[in-house]
């Protein structure tokens, strides 16, 4: 059972970086923190499972608000915003070096903060950006002084991009997949992927208030068409937000990473200003790092394997996919692609 903290206890917890945020309680609005000292250096497995059976306390909203109001300098966090199916897991794990570069994989607390923000904005309750800022400050406490913190939020947390721009320092990578490859990935494996994409569509379609599509129109859409709209809605959001980010943001088509992984990692090390050397990453030391899919270990992980997946499609499905991809591209504003400030282009990847 999680312990609710008194004010004096909250201060000591906040001063100890081993207590990290895992979620926001739906009933009380309290911030759940877990003792991550029992997990291995780097904590990546812990954040992918969101705590497990680790000791836990609850930071009351009032204590979190004091944390926000008592600090002046914005916390320094790097972000990797992504569309899904774009090598985000491989890239984020490659940036982790225990003791100097901490990476957080889709922490649940950010997804919960995004939910709180959406619900408040939809109900017109006023600006509650302090909730996002409290989460950012709680995450920006690495276990080693001077270590960098890089967070890969889940796509459902992309609603917080504006909050992160306003409330943090650090850089932002906008990582995306080509529409056709996104569609193929969304349709592969099992029904859980289609369920994930449909759930993401319902969130994205309603973010601005009333949905652009009626329930009847959505019911007539195929899974493939839903996936195309999900891709387009995310690219539209990225294009809009990147215009506000200036030099703090860079974009990356994941095909550049697949084609030139080590060059991209070197570029990311410079862009994020990470401590240490890129060569100390597992991506350089483990010769098999780029030969296996980190989510599905039995699969190959390469540009060639993605091309093979495209070529294995039946002529009928390929025609449907091409039609859906074209329709998805037409849904985008004319200036959405290419995304600005590319981290790597065909020209500089050849250098």
Pair 138, 67: CB distance under 8 Å: yes
Supply the pLDDT for residue 293: 61
Supply the pLDDT for residue 242: 97
Supply the pLDDT for residue 45: 42
- Tell me: do 56 and 200 sit in the same domain: no
- Tell me: do 193 and 56 sit in the same domain: no
Structural domain includes residue 349: no
Rounded to 10 deg, the angle between the 61-69 and 7-14 helix axes is: 50
Supply the pLDDT for residue 278: 93
- Tell me: do 43 and 116 sit in the same domain: no
- Tell me: do 113 and 56 sit in the same domain: no
Structural domain includes residue 173: yes
- Tell me: do 34 and 175 sit in the same domain: no
Structural domain includes residue 113: yes
| Residue 52 belongs to domain spanning | 1-70
- Tell me: do 23 and 144 sit in the same domain: no
- Tell me: do 113 and 223 sit in the same domain: yes
- Tell me: do 2 and 137 sit in the same domain: no
- Tell me: do 307 and 208 sit in the same domain: yes
The stretches in the chain having pLDDT less than 70 are: 1-8, 38-53, 71, 209, 292-303, 346-351
**Which of 70, 91, 106 is the last residue before a domain boundary?**
70
Structural domain includes residue 323: yes
Pair 58, 151: CB distance under 8 Å: no
Q: pLDDT of 67-90, one tens digit each? A: 888 767 899 999 999 999 999 999
Q: How many domains does the chain have?
A: 2
The counts of H helices and E strands in the chain are 17, 9
Structural domain includes residue 14: yes
CB atoms within 10 A of CB 113: 28
Q: Which helix (H) or strand (E) holds 179?
A: helix 179-187
Structural domain includes residue 213: yes
Q: pLDDT of 221-279, one tens digit each? A: 999 999 999 999 999 999 999 999 999 999 999 999 999 999 999 999 999 999 999 99
- Tell me: do 60 and 195 sit in the same domain: no
- Tell me: do 77 and 8 sit in the same domain: no
**Which of 44, 70, 96 is the last residue before a domain boundary?**
70
Model pTM score:
0.91
- Tell me: do 89 and 3 sit in the same domain: no
CATH code of the domain covering residue 79: 3.40.50.300
Supply the pLDDT for residue 42: 45
**Which of 70, 86, 114 is the last residue before a domain boundary?**
70
Structural domain includes residue 350: no
């Amino acid at each position: 059972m999680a312990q609710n903290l008194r004010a004096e206890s909250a201060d000591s917890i906040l001063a100890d970086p081993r207590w990290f945020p895992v979620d926001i309680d739906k009933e009380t609005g309290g911030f759940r923190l877990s003792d991550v000292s029992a997990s291995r250096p780097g904590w990546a497995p812990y954040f992918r499972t969101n705590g497990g059976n680790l000791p836990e306390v609850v930071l009351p909203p009032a204590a979190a608000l004091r944390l926000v109001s008592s600090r002046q300098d914005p916390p320094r966090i790097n972000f990797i915003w992504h569309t899904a199916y774009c090598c985000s897991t491989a890239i984020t794990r490659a940036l982790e070096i225990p003791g100097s570069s901490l990476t957080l994989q889709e922490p649940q607390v950010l997804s919960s903060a995004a939910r709180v923000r959406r619900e408040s904005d939809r109900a017109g309750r006023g600006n509650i950006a302090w909730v996002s800022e409290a989460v950012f400050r709680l995450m920006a406490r690495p276990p080693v002084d001077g270590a960098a913190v890089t967070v890969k939020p889940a796509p459902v947390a992309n609603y917080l991009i504006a909050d992160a721009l306003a409330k943090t320092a650090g850089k932002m990578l906008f990582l995306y997949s080509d529409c056709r490859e996104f569609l193929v990935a969304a349709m592969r494996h099992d029904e859980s992927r289609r369920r994930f994409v449909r759930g993401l569509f319902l969130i994205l379609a309603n973010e601005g208030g009333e949905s652009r599509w009626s329930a009847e129109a959505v019911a007539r859409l195929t899974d493939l068409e839903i996936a195309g709209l999900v891709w387009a809605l995310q690219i539209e959001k990225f294009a809009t937000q990147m215009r506000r980010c200036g030099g703090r943001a860079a974009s990356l088509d994941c095909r550049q990473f697949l084609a030139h992984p080590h060059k991209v990692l070197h570029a990311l090390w410079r862009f994020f200003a990470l401590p240490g050397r890129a060569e100390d990453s597992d991506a350089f030391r483990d010769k098999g790092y780029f030969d296996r899919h980190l989510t599905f270990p039995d699969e190959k992980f390469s540009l060639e394997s993605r091309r093979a997946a495209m070529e294995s499609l039946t002529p009928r499905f390929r025609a449907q996919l091409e039609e859906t991809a074209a329709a998805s591209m037409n849904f985008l504003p004319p200036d959405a692609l290419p995304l600005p400030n590319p981290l790597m282009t065909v020209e500089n990847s050849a250098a």
